[in-house]
Amino acid sequence: MFICQIAIDPEVFGQVEGKMAYLFMTDNEDFVDGTYEPDGGENAVVIQPDGNNVTTTQLAAGPSLYVMREKEDDQLLHPVPCEFSVALKVGDDPDRGFENDTNGDDLEEAKIGGTPVFLQGEEYPKGGGWRLLLQLDSVTAPFYVNFGDAGVGYAFLSADGRTGKFLWQCG
């Protein structure tokens, strides 16, 4: 499932190789083991240009974000595809957050860059030199994403800006 794309802004990350990051995670109605591990094979942060060596398949459309909504004459919730755009609001870390352009609700627990606020203790991908690219709280996100029970996702960027990794922790 495509979750988001993030411009790798030189004002936040300095001059690095990558210019755009794309975050993907396996999505299924049931829990998928390994989505929480940076090297579990069930998520990817693809950095362009010249980023991760990730095998891809060209599709006209694929699984993407959705919200759960009721349908007329049905009390059950059903997934409805959605898109959101956000504006970066530069601030002092850790108060960097998103302002939702669609309805004006702030996503206070989400940020680009800065210092991660870990739920279960410090956990960076192996290898060192990782910087926070994105922190996303599944509870305050305006779309459905499964980071476990009240989980937070963390995307990281390597020091040279050519590689990305993703993991999540839950409460």
pLDDT digits (tens, 9 = 90+) for 105-114: 444 568 889 8
What six digits make up the tokens of 159? Answer: 């020091």
Residue 57 to residue 123: CA distance in whole angstroms: 31
- Kindly report, residue by residue over 115-138, the tens digit of the pLDDT: 898 888 899 999 889 999 999 998
pTM score, whole prediction = 0.81
Going from the C-alpha of 165 to that of each of 64, 95, 157, the distances in angstroms are: 19, 23, 7
3-class SS of residue 138: coil
**Long-range contacts of the stretch 104-111 (C-beta < 8 A, 24+):** 105/142, 107/137, 107/140, 107/141, 107/142, 108/140, 109/135, 109/136, 109/137, 109/139, 109/140, 109/152, 110/86, 110/134, 110/135, 110/136, 110/137, 110/140, 110/141, 111/135
The total number of structural domains that make up the chain: 1
For the chain, give the percent of residues with pLDDT over 90.
Answer: 35
Block residue for tokens 């411009």: 7
Give me the phi and psi of 90, to 5 degrees please.
Answer: -70, 130
What pLDDT shows up at residue 90?
64
Beta carbons within 8 Å of 62's beta carbon, 6+ residues apart:
1, 2
Nearest-angstrom CA–CA distance, 171 and 30: 19
The residue segments making up the domain with residue 71 are 2-169
